[in-house]
Structure 1
Amino acid sequence: MRIVIAEDAAVVREGLVGLLTDRDLDVVAAVGDPDALLAAVDEHRPDAVVADIRMPPTHRDEGLRAAAEIRRRHPGTGVLLFSQYIETRYADTLLADGAEGIGYLLKDRVLDVDDFVDALRRVVAGGTALDPDVVARLFAARASGAAAPRLDALTPRERETLELMASGLTNTAIAARMEISQRAVEKHVATIFDKFALPRTAQEHRRVLAVLRYLRDSPGVSTEG
């Protein structure tokens, strides 16, 4: 596995390089800012990118925006972002176009090297690696007094639709996979949103929230990195 690392703190960056090379992973570049990250990815075409969300010059969301650009230029590249803090708005943005090949971990989780490497392998394979604390905060922020609807509220076809959504497929791709019309997929998706009590708002991505619920509640589907 070939990896590019982006972290502006030199000590952390060197530590990440050491952790990964000790596991026989090939770190082809380690850089300290988003422009250098984009250049390194263009040059090396890595299997995965590991990047801090907050990077120079403003230390806000430069890493996130660089990740979005990487996914636009090189769609097959796995992207594993990390942050010192739980920032749910960044998780929403990161997953807005699908969860395939995406990871978001807290920095403390990186210290568990086995989990960290497993998360990298998962995103390279096209899966999703979400920190469980981030998932919990996303749902806690929207929790009501009533118990949240669970996956068993879905029909088998609705659950299959949600599973394919969680794999990062569009409605068109889901229709082809399930051998049904796109209109039927749209109906399944709308019903999933209704059963999960996810109202249409300008501030939230219902598709992301539905996928997060699938990742949280499905046996055998890990959100841990």
Structure 2
Amino acid sequence: MNKIYKFLLIFLLFASPVVSQTADIYFDADESYSQRDTFFVISVKCDVFFEEVKAIRLDIDVDPSVLSFDTTQSGSDTIFVKPGGLLIPIDTVTFFSYYLHPDSTRITIDIALLSDSATFNGPGELVWLPITTVGFGESDIVLVNAFLIDRFGNEIPALTNDSWAKVCQFVGDVNADNRIDIADLVYFVDYSFGIPSGPPPNTYFSGDVDCSGYLDIADIVYLVTYMFDYGPPPCEICL
């Protein structure tokens, strides 16, 4: 009798389903960009525990005042949102679709392998996502939802990791129009001398072109020398 119990115990232990590891889905590292209207691509990646995945839905959010999903290449109809380089069998048919929500805050991406036996297996890149910087400031890039389905229709657990991007304003771009020119000098002089009652620089320390830690006449002299006498450029600080 004891031998039978031992046999049943061993059988149940080895017959129990193996609990799969949680897949990790993440973005490229955090980045800072030197100015507005910059185009960049961020990729969504997965680790080695991303296994036997048949279909994927990703919901990704950004702050639309800072970042914008760029769904087409400027000047053409070429779609830039595309599957990443995750290796899959060459005989598979991949369904790929995305939807940009009306407020431009969120993009939803659907990917599925239509061949019966084909599945996604990590590690690798899932999606290449083009983004344009549209305003100064900081924005989280948030993977709000990640739904993974196996070939039997079961949901696969996934751990998501967000990213972050900062768009820097030039020091010297005191009117925040994404360039340094005579308009900035006029703006700064109006502010400094109250002609008539100039507003402070847009982001106060954008006027601290000599990086002294405060705004004064020396900054105006520095800016004039830079513009008209081949002086050194304003110091490089990400505002």
TM-score (structure 2 length as normaliser): 0.21
Greater per-residue helix proportion: 1
Greater per-residue strand proportion: 2
| Greater RCO structure (CA 8 Å; 6+ sep) | 2
TM-score (structure 1 length as normaliser): 0.22
